[in-house]
Structure 1
Amino acid sequence: MCGIFGFVASDRFSAGADQLGRLAAGLFLLSESRGSEAAGLAISNGVELSMFRRAQPASRMLGTPEYKEFVGSRFCSTSTGANTLVIGHSRLVTNGSQGIEENNQPVSSDHCVGVHNGIIVNDKELWELNPDLVRRSLVDTEVFYRLFDKNFSLSGDVVGSLCNVFGAIKGEANIAFLHDSMPSLFLATNVGSLYWLRAKKTGLFVFASERHFLTSLILQFRDLFSECDLNDVQQLRVGEGVCVSPNELSIEAFELSAAQATSLSEKPVSAAKPILDHSPKRKELCRCTRCILPHSFPFISFDKDGVCNFCREGAPIRRDDRQTLEARISGFRSKDGSPDCIVALSGGRDSCYGLHVIKKELGLNPIAYTYDWAMVTDEARRNSARMCGELGVEHIIRSADIISKRKNIRINIEAWLRRPELGMIPLFMAGDKQFFHYASQVSRQTSVPLVIFCGGNNLEITRFKAGFCGVQDRSVNTMVGLDLPGKLRLLAYYAKNYILNPSYINRSVLDTLFAFYSTYVNRQDFLYLYQYVDWDEKVIAKTLSDSYGWESSGDSNSTWRIGDGTAAFYNYIYYTVAGFSEHDTFRSNQIRAGLITRDEALRLVEQENQPRYLAMREYAALVGFSLDEALTVINNIPKLG
């Protein structure tokens, strides 16, 4: 399993910053034999506690400019006249994808930054038993430090808290951590896979997962361990722990038992020092002072008051009213109860509510039509069935070649990962655009000329997708395409990227061209319901829930996009790289329309932009690509802004 290691250099350590860097590198390279899928370390000088993590082998990470800058600046500032505490980790993945930075170690909780070797097999049960704990990752290590925080906040007793946590977990745990209120290093184990070595004259304490690692260090760094021989390496026994104080490198041992020592009981200080995570992240985004769009949004600009040009243009509004709608549909309304309209039904909230309005409020007799293109979610299918069953509406389904569609998605994702471009992300969803084509086909086959689309209210305009292609989209409705110059510029952008990345020239090309033709060339004169009908999120959610028992997604508080199996993945990319997703544009449009406040929007997107890992994993499994590899690439893309 994983390799953990670290050292404490007291203020008497005088060998210099270069030696600290060499020591850290030596421990990384030795520990990599226990895991090479991710690596990271944390460094504390008693004032600042900083982390650095990468989803790559330690041997590769050590050569990166970012790592060299990180350790160089911190060791230079701490090696003379100050204590330095370091913990590190070389990871073998057992749970929690290494492509997600939060799953890699060191792991941080509210007050600890720590590493762990082993597997906590009852972590799921512990989270369920402690619903007050906030979970940020999928790795089992996190529950250990969250539980420690909880216990320590109540007792202020390090040993007692550790005993409680070790008593609660099942499995294997060798841990090392730093606490933001105590200038000490803590080690503990329930299996004995920790070894330590102290060189008092040099002012150095070192620990690692194997005896061999430390004996190798003695031979490799004779100048640092001149007073030590191979027999000086000590094992931390089963059920033991130590607290290492940088001052004089004093070691205080304790037992992980009911007979809790009290000599280490310390109350947490009132002002905790921050844990600074130096994982790859973007700079703080500057947002519009009226809406929440950031400066990384394509074609955005701000005036002297910090208001963006999209806010100055005003809110997207529906252009017509219910009276105009009644006039338009009057000529189609049947007098004998026969079908008089085709309603596109995706299973998402807008189309489901639209079907309700069309049947219950407008009194039409619809046929529901669904194009299942391979990425319609199970929730969407069940919700469509609920709606049609309750309303007594015929439901026509057109299904694509699911296997072929998913293969097209996979090869385009794999092509994109070779040369990531935000503007090319819609290629993942190109296969669904034929729903326009099949809507016309169903209309002809049923001899029902009126086709109504209920998806894509004006608040859902996502102009940034064309914006990342260098095309300024000024369309006033999300379901209505670009103007002719915009279409030509979009084609030119795609042509350029196909040339730069020939991997896109694959079996999916014809399907993609068909999608472009269906979307931008051969679009029919469909009726778009939300150009005439008010869209109110609360009314929609309440109606669907109360009247139809509508099902939401189990991994998201939002009801938007849960019918689209691709949304969790592409929004993760947009948010990770650009700092915003579709949710930010949607909430910004709501602000402009006076439906929510800016503070409310910020609170909502903080929740909505949380990665939907379960949905992404299901998506990857269906399509057939490695989510771990994809997330590793995505998280290493340079951040905008």
Structure 2
Amino acid sequence: MCGIFGLLIHPDYQASKHAAKEVLHGLARMSEARGKDSSGMAFLDFGQNEAKVLKGNLRLRELLKDPSTQSKLDASLDAWRKQRVPFLAFGHARLVTNGSQLEQVNNQPVVKNGDLLIHNGIITNHEVLWESLHQKREFQIDSEVILATLSDKLLSTAREVPLSQVFDRMEGTFSIMAFLGSRQEMLLASNNGSLHYIHEPGKFLAFASEAYFLQKITQKKAWRQFSDTDPEIRAVGPWAGVWIDPERCQIQNLDWHRPVKASQELKKKWNNNILEVKGNHPQKAMVLEPEVYFNRNRETALFNLLENPKEKVRTLRRCTRCILPETFPFIHFDAKGICNYCHGYKPKSRGNRLPELMDMLEPYRKPGRQDCIVPFSGGRDSTFALHMAKKELGLNPIALTYDWGMVTDLARRNISRVCGKLGIENIVVAADIRWKRENIRKNVSAWLRKPHLGMVPLFMAGDKYFFFYTDRLKKQTGIKLNLWGINHLENTDFKVGFAGIPPQFDKEKIYSLSLARQLKLFGFVGSQLIQNPGYLNQSWLDNLGSFATRFLAPKRDEFHLFDFYPWDEAEIDNTLREYHWEKAIDTSTTWRIGDGTAGFYNYIYYTVAGFSEVDTFRSNQIREGMITREKAVELAERENEPRFETIRWYLEMIGLDFTASIKKINAIPKLY
């Protein structure tokens, strides 16, 4: 979930300070793509046995520019050249999960008992792990439990133990570099392979969260001044480790199940000098977990503001075959009360065609190497697609996650659970979340001033770059194939229907519009901009890019799992349980819980129009023969109940007042 990186140089290695600095800076800047919420770096002084740690609530590129960082980097490089001691610097670009970035102890490197750690991933069962450890917990951040476990299980015993015995109780993902201060040793370890390194014995070692970062740095001019070889980039894991002797710059590859033993030779006491670096960001927490901070029982006045017009909604005329109401855009009914959406529906299920898909995948396979990219939002369908890619299709996938700003912490934990259990590398592209949330705030504020249901999709514009980053990762890795878990039953034509775009029953993909419809949609949005200039804000270029990415970007070498395999809700939910998948506290369904926006916009649709995405989804299930109409009515009424905790979280994260926002939504004239 974060970016980690580092550079170790042997005391006698002949390279310029300038080249070493450029290599380190290059790794740092690229690592920031994985997390921009906070950052930290450590510079180790082997002459004084002191770790100089800087971290704070600022982006890594800002930390690099800070005078304190520059002076400590220069001092470390001077000591390496003049005192002939190892140069070791490492850092962390954080995508915040648990543990507020406003408290420096929760930012990384984590410092505990003279040891240091940088961690990419999430330990999802850290609360349980602490119960069996002798170490005292000091911080909120889950990563602390890794250092405590290393101390208890590996460093405090004279016997040899395998890494599996140290790490196997941990659920979630971890790719780590631990510096064990009293022994002056380093450990690289990963359970999902999101850790890569370059090593020239007795010369240097560089590591990063993505192989692409190392590949790019070796193409820079500074690298040619640093090394005259074309290095091999190696992966750590999944389920593997590397011991490093920093003074000799030698490594030992560790088998996960073979006993290993840390050095019992205690060196001179290692000291840690920690400096908090202040950034210019607003002092606002990036993560507030709904299950911890928001509760309808404690906030009854706010909860009671939410409307649930189910009694009035029950009186709406509905299709006699599905459950779409009379307020649905472009709907009309025949003499039997059956709607045009049922008449125009083309069945999506094509049966189990996995053997056919297996044959089509043959040209893409790369035995023993990664050969597929699965876009992985953390939702239930992408989880199932990743599971099928690995377990049933025999692919070696990379899971790509685009964290655009409104991905919930719950989704991030589920991503870690699945990737950790499957041993799958998770490449994360993290947006500038503060900027994205500010864009959303401006657009929602503009919408609230002049509400129009046709403009609600603008709230989600920022997440459509998933398509762009999937294509970019294919180019970076040389992997041609990507497999999507898009569920055709989630077709939501009504969203553009409210913009005056009629349904298109013959389209092949749910995220597609004909050219004529695209132009009409563009015209509608243009008219809204004229009527509501509040939309003309800093987000507009981002919104245009989203439109281009979704509708115009080329789609090559991609397959959709549910074109070849029946979508079955019960099977998917059973699969989720295998991964200890976590559910939201404010709904019984596993659907639409990975992104906080859905609870908000579905509240708008339901209160204003008397239906939401739930109704369209359950109607499609009826048409496919998956559920009865009676069951769909029951589920829709339950699942359309306002999701208080999620809506509270959403408005808090984008900086809008809950009371004022909900009152404005409730005041919008109803369509029924």
TM bucket normalised to smaller: 0.5 to 0.7
The answer to whether residue 637 in structure 2 is matched with residue 606 in structure 1 is yes
Contact 2:587 2:643 in 1 (8 A): yes
Given candidates 317, 339, 345, the residue that maps to 2:348 is 317
Q: Match for 1:138 among 283, 296, 300?
A: 300
Question: CA deviation digits over 1:119-154, x for unaligned, max 9?
Answer: xxxxxxxxx9xxxxx999934999xxxxxxxxxxxx
- Whether 1:640 and 2:662 are equivalent positions in the alignment is no
Would the aligned equivalents of 1:457 and 1:477 in 2 still touch at CA under 8 Å? no
The answer to whether residue 609 in structure 2 is matched with residue 594 in structure 1 is: no
Contact kept? 1:458, 1:477, Cα under 8 Å: no
Structure 1 partner of 2:597: 566
One-letter amino acid of the counterpart of residue 138, structure 1: T
Give the one of 419, 434, 444 matched to 1:403. Answer: 434
- Taking the aligned partners of 2:378 and 2:363, their CA distance within structure 1 comes to 28
Decide which of 571, 576, 586 is 1:539's aligned counterpart.
571
Please give the residue correspondences for 1:133-172 in structure 2 after superposition, counting only pairs within 5 Å. 138-139=300-301
Cα distance in 2 for residues equivalent to 1:445 and 1:560:
32
Between the aligned partners of 2:437 and 2:419, the Cα distance in structure 1 is: 27
Query: Alpha-carbon deviation of 1:527?
Result: 1.9
Which residue among 503, 518, 528 is the counterpart of 2:560?
Answer: 528
Q: What residue is the counterpart of 1:327 in the other structure?
A: 359
- After superposition, the Cα gap between the structure-2 partners of 1:293 and 1:502, relative to the gap in structure 1 and judged at 3 Å, is same
Q: Which of 493, 506, 511 pairs up with 1:463?
A: 493
Shift of the 508–141 alpha-carbon distance from structure 1 to 2, 3 Å rule, reads closer
Residue by residue over 1:283-327, the C-alpha shift from the partner in whole angstroms, topping out at 9 and shown as x without a partner, is: 931111111000100111101111111112235414583233223
Preserved CA contact (<8 Å) 2:484 2:559 = yes
The aligned amino acid for 1:443 is K
| Residue in 1 that maps onto 2:422 | 391
Secondary structure, aligned partner of 1:396: strand
- Determine if contact 2:310/2:637 at 8 Å carries over to the other structure: no
**Residue 471 of structure 1: how far off its partner (Å):** 0.6
Q: Which amino acid aligns with 1:469?
A: A
Residues 349 and 624 in structure 2, CA contact (< 8 A), matched pair in contact too: no
Q: What does 1:157-556 correspond to in 2, within 5 Å? A: 284-318=315-349, 321-335=353-367, 337-454=368-485, 456-474=486-504, 476=507, 479-525=510-556, 526-545=558-577, 547-556=578-587
- Between the aligned residues of both structures, percent identity stands at 49
Instruction: Sort the Cα spacing of 1:346 and 1:140 in 2 relative to 1 into closer, same or farther, 3 A.
Output: closer
Residue 404 (structure 1) shift: 0.4
Whether the 8 Å contact between 1:316 and 1:459 is mirrored in structure 2 is: no
Aligned length: 372
Aligned equivalent of 1:621: 652
3-state DSSP class of the match of 1:433? helix
Q: Are residues 280 and 351 of structure 1, via their aligned partners in 2, closer, same or farther at CA, if it must alter by over 3 Å?
A: closer
* Contact kept in structure 2, 1:460 and 1:585, CA below 8 Å: yes
C-alpha separation in 2, matches of 1:356 and 1:618: 30
For the 8 Å contact 1:379–1:551, the answer to whether it is kept is yes
2-structure distance, mates of 1:298, 1:136 = 38
CA separation of 1:626/1:478 partners in 2, compared to 1, >3 Å: closer, same or farther?
Answer: farther
What value does the CA root-mean-square deviation take over the aligned residues?
2.5
1:280–1:422 CA distance, 2 compared to 1 (3 A): farther
Which of 612, 620, 636 does residue 581 from structure 1 map onto? 612
User: Which residue is 1:15 aligned to?
Assistant: none
Assess, with a 3 A threshold, how the Cα gap between structure 1 residues 487 and 313 changes in structure 2: closer, same or farther. Answer: same
- Secondary structure of 1:374's counterpart equals coil
Q: Which amino acid aligns with 1:352?
A: T
CA contact (8 A) 1:473 1:482 kept: no
AA paired with 1:420? Answer: P
CA shift digits 1:75-100 (9 cap, x unpaired):
xxxxxxxxxxxxxxxxxxxxxxxxxx
> Aligned equivalents of 1:386 and 1:342: distance in 2?
18
Deviation at 1:560, TM superposition (A): 0.6
Secondary structure, aligned partner of 1:410: helix
Identify if the C-alpha distance between structure 1 residues 635 and 283 changes in structure 2 by more than 3 Å, giving closer, same or farther. farther
Separation (CA, whole Å) in 2 of partners of 1:615 and 1:434:
23
Task: Give the match for residue 94 of structure 2.
Answer: none
* Structure 2: segments with no counterpart, 5+ residues: 1-294
SS in 2 for 1:397: strand
Distance in 1 between residues matched to 2:413 and 2:446, nearest whole Å? 33
Name structure 1 gaps, 5 residues minimum.
1-127, 129-133, 143-276
Mapped contact 1:473–1:486 kept (Cα < 8 A): no
SS class of match (1:287): coil
For the Cα contact (< 8 Å) 1:348–1:563, is it kept in 2? yes
Q: Secondary structure at the match of 1:330?
A: helix
Q: Do 1:339 and 1:365's aligned partners in 2 also have CA atoms closer than 8 Å?
A: yes
Distance 1:536 1:283 in 2: 28
**Normalised TM-score (structure 1):** 0.56
Cα gap change, 1:581/1:477 in structure 2, threshold over 3 Å: closer, same or farther? Answer: farther
Structure 2 residue matching 1:510: 3-state secondary structure: helix
| Secondary structure class of the residue paired with 1:338 | coil
SS in 2 for 1:527: strand
Structure 1 592/442 Cα, relative in aligned 2: closer, same or farther at 3 Å? same
Kindly provide the CA deviation profile for residues 258-284 of structure 1, in whole angstroms up to 9, marking residues without a partner as x: xxxxxxxxxxxxxxxxxxx99996793
How many angstroms apart in 2 are the aligned matches of 1:510 and 1:140?
35
Instruction: Name the aligned partner's letter for residue 477 of structure 2.
Output: T
CA distance in 1, matches of 2:496, 2:429: 28
